[in-house]
Amino acid sequence: MAVQMKGKSLASLDHLTREELEQIIKTSELLKFQLLRGQEHPLLKGKTLAMIFEKPSTRTRVSFEVGMWQLGGYALYLSATDLQLGRGETIGDTARTLSRYVNGIMARVFSHQTILDLIQHSNVPVINGLSDFSHPCQGLADLFTVYEKKGRLDGLKLAYLGDGNNVAHSLIDGCSKVGMNIVLACPKGYEPDSKVVAQGKKEARKNGSEVRVTDDPKEAVKEADIIYTDVWASMGKEKEHAERVKILKPYQVNPKLVKGAKEDYIFMHCLPAHRGEEVTDEVADSKKSVIFDQAENRLHTQKALMALVM
């Protein structure tokens, strides 16, 4: 039976139940199949989505905008600096105002609190399009991509290498919900948030899987089904770039490191990549790499999410 998700906001993947996650994946599969067959699916005909951006984006912006169009709706791009927000109007007043015009809000912000404030003051669903704390839409596309490539999620091992950032948090949330094992190799001081790890461990125990953090990249990659990495300096951390490159260098995903993984491992990255830093061209462009499938799947999973909540 379908789970009712209408009106639901998405700040982080840990707010979804396993059933809701599975429903989004199944719906993504259906919408992707229909799109490839040229079958139209105007599930959000006449509906509108406001997209607030405090930071740049290629994938998130284009996939939401195209996705909304394919669903028969309309998406508005709103740069935070162009809104009255940039001149001091509060998040609360912005949310209340937008709720009078649109059927959903997607926001990419610096502070995660902005997402929580939007949710609190809005009468329409709010979707986190990346904050400093989490990137749930990326996590959805990642789980769907693994499911497509491996035919299942539970029991697999994902090794995440590098900075314990927003993407790492969403992978912990997502993997632990669906019974996937996740081992994160991060240097000291760059580990994921301890509360996210603790919550992930609790959830993983329920679903028969494991969440583990180590500082040893070789050990993390051992027998992995999936190797995942992300940039070392996320948006907003550019000033720390030089220092981070020095510290995170041993976590680079290169041909030598991937040798420890399973023969049929896949390589994943949310993109944009800083080639030559967290990943080398040999790995990013190898047959094992599914990075553009992941990027494509942002479209299908977000369409599924919007169709279900809006």
Q: List, by residue number, the catalytic residues.
A: 108, 135, 138, 230, 270, 298
**23 lines the binding site for ligand CP (CB under 6 A):** no
- Find the shortest distance in angstroms from Cβ 273 to ligand CP: 10
C-alpha distances out from residue 236 to 58, 60, 132, 163, 254, Å: 16, 17, 8, 14, 26
Q: Which of 25, 49, 71, 130 binds ligand CP (CB under 6 A)?
A: 130
Q: Which option in ligand NVA, ligand CP, none does residue 20 bind, with CB closer than 5 to 8 A by kind?
A: none
299 with 36: CB under 8 angstroms?
Answer: no
Q: Which option in ligand CP, ligand NVA, none does residue 261 bind, with CB closer than 5 to 8 A by kind?
A: none
In terms of CB distance, is 59 or 157 closer to ligand NVA?
59
- Find the shortest distance in angstroms from Cβ 236 to ligand NVA: 7
Q: Which option in ligand CP, ligand NVA, none does residue 166 bind, with CB closer than 5 to 8 A by kind?
A: ligand NVA
| One-letter amino acid for residue 164 of the chain | G
**Chain contacts with ligand NVA (rule: CB under 6 A):** 130, 165-167, 230-231, 234-235, 270
In terms of CB distance, is 28 or 138 closer to ligand CP?
138
Q: Which option in ligand NVA, ligand CP, none does residue 225 bind, with CB closer than 5 to 8 A by kind?
A: none
**127 lines the binding site for ligand CP (CB under 6 A):** no
CA-CA-CA-CA torsion sign (299, 232, 184, 211): negative
Q: Which option in ligand NVA, ligand CP, none does residue 140 bind, with CB closer than 5 to 8 A by kind?
A: none
In terms of CB distance, is 121 or 298 closer to ligand CP?
298
Q: How crowded is residue 259: how many other Cβ atoms within 10 Å of its Cβ?
A: 9
- Find the shortest distance in angstroms from Cβ 108 to ligand NVA: 9
Residues within window 50-79 making contact with ligand CP, judged by CB under 6 A = 57-60
In terms of CB distance, is 71 or 270 closer to ligand CP?
270
Query: What residue is closest to ligand NVA based on CB?
Result: 234
**271 lines the binding site for ligand CP (CB under 6 A):** yes
In terms of CB distance, is 166 or 280 closer to ligand CP?
166
What's phi and psi for 118, nearest 5 deg?
-60, -45
164 with 171: CB under 8 angstroms?
Answer: no
Of 88-96, 198-206, 270-278, 284-292, the segment contacting ligand CP by CB under 6 A is 270-278
In terms of CB distance, is 86 or 236 closer to ligand NVA?
236
**293 lines the binding site for ligand CP (CB under 6 A):** no
